[in-house]
Amino acid sequence: MRKEIVSLKNVEVYFNDTPILENVSLSIKQNDFLAIIGPNGGGKTTLLKVILGLIKPNKGEVKVFGRNPKEGRKLIGYLPQYTFFDPNFPMSVLDVVLMGRYRGIFRNYSEEDKNAALNALKTVGMLEFKDRQIGRLSGGQLQRVFVARAIVREPKLLLLDEPTTGIDPEMQKSFYELLLKLKKRMAIVLVTHDIGVVSTYVEKIACLNRMLFYHGPKEAGLKKLEDVYQCPIEVIAHGVPHRVLRRHEKNDRDSSV
């Protein structure tokens, strides 16, 4: 039986008295491939930051590898939704990945660090680009490099926040096939609006809109998405909450009278 690595129990997060997460309980196990899906503003990124210890819940308990999140996050790799960098800065692909091994301003990178960075680039299929300037990569290549940076410490959990935004469909397919390969070595939690990804690649889904409406196998979860939000999956995938759809339906009825 696979061991639990992340446990959230009755977690609540408020910003200025506005609920962002309400009574969320979630379990992640070794080698899980979990997609978190739901409308924009539903708390998906906040949930990742709670696991990372970047946001402290107002209520509830969070354990990451049996520890508090700040202690447990050294075993986590993280690729945020937006990664800001200057494409004209003279930094190589290898330099970017080495940043994942950064230990402080007065600590130089060791041979072990360099070997780990090269192995990470090999894992994501970018070793031949190690000396290329980062600004000369395509969007898909760039995301692979950022994944290499996230896994260079060999984490046990990889968190990805909408990692394929702006990547062309063919490169997306290659990217998700990479994640399937990584899943053999670590658990993966993926925030996405792409229903095709959910149905094709992941094993479990968490349906989140402030509250966690479903967490389990994808087959039952895809149907649950429509039941919970009372709107087609295509609408959920584009981040439109069900209350907007209902308002539009009411306006249509009114205009037809």
Token code pair at residue 243: 């209350």
Q: 247 pLDDT exceeds 50?
A: no
On the 0-12 / 13-18 / 19+ scale of CB atoms within 10 A, 226 is middle
**pLDDT at residue 241 greater than cutoff 60:** no
pLDDT digits (tens, 9 = 90+) for 119-129: 999 999 999 99
Share of the chain above pLDDT 90, in %: 49
* Residue bearing tokens 């037809």: 256
The reported pLDDT for the residue numbered 34 is 94
pLDDT, tens digit, 9 for 90 and up, residues 43-68: 999 999 999 999 999 999 999 999 99
Band (149; pLDDT cuts 50, 70, 90): very high
Q: What is the pLDDT of residues 20-47, one digit of tens each?
A: 999 999 999 999 999 998 888 889 999 9
Handedness of CA 129, 94, 64, 195 (dihedral sign): negative
Crossing angle between the packed helical segments 139-151 and 111-123, to the nearest 10 degrees:
130
Domain parsing of the chain, residue ranges:
4-91+155-256
- What is the tens place of the pLDDT at every residue in 167-223? 777 778 888 888 999 999 999 999 987 777 777 888 898 888 899 887 888 766 666
Contact assessment for residue 31 and residue 2, using Cβ atoms and an 8 Å cutoff: yes
Write out the CATH class of domain 4-91+155-256.
Answer: alpha beta
- More confidently predicted of 171 and 136: 136
218 phi/psi in degrees, rounded to 5: -65, -30
As a whole number of angstroms, the distance between CA 65 and CA 57 comes to 18
Looking at residue 92, its pLDDT comes to 93
| pLDDT number for residue 93 | 93
Confidence at residue 246, expressed as pLDDT on a 0 to 100 scale = 37
- pLDDT, residue 253, reads 41
**pLDDT of res. 168:** 74
Give the pLDDT of residue 234. Answer: 53
How high does pLDDT run on average in the chain? 83
Can you give the pLDDT at residue 225? 65
Q: How far apart are CA 17 and CA 86, in angstroms?
A: 37
pTM comes to 0.83
Produce one character per residue of 79-95: b if its CB has 16 or more CB atoms within 10 Å, e if not: bbeeeeeeeeeebebbb
